Amino acid sequence: MARIRRQLDDRPADRSVPQLESLRRRPSLEDIVFLVGKHFKADAARWSAGCRGDDASRAVAAYLARREFGYSCVEVAKALGYRTPSSVTLAVGRVEAGTENLRKTAKKLRAVLH
């Protein structure tokens, strides 16, 4: 498995074979939450169901976990305090439709986590 993971690290993601993404090394959800919280100076402990805010930090964490590192919506919802998995999908969409600056920040954080 270690040899296969090293080989996958050297290859770009191939969306036509999503099963390969589950074999790549990826940061833990705790690492993603910590880094995003630190970057945005946000208290991740306050991310909870029903707690709305215009702070983009939780949405960026959801985007990174879901889109960039392949965690399921259920896993992300549980880790980030979303009420339902569909809330994760909405948060990811907010980042994808967000400002260029927000997308650049997510890309920068992805590079740090990878």
pLDDT in tens, the chain (114 residues): 778 767 766 666 666 666 666 666 789 999 999 999 999 999 888 887 776 665 799 999 999 999 988 899 999 999 999 999 999 999 999 999 999 999 999 999 999 997
Quote the number of domains for the chain: 1
Long-range contacts of 22-30 (CB under 8 A, 24+ apart): 22/70, 24/70, 26/69, 26/70, 26/71, 27/69, 27/113, 27/114, 29/65, 29/71, 29/75, 29/76, 29/79, 29/80, 30/79
- Does a structural domain hold residue 11? no
Range of the domain at 30: 26-113
- Does a structural domain hold residue 19? no
- Does a structural domain hold residue 44? yes
Query: Amino acid letter at 69?
Result: F
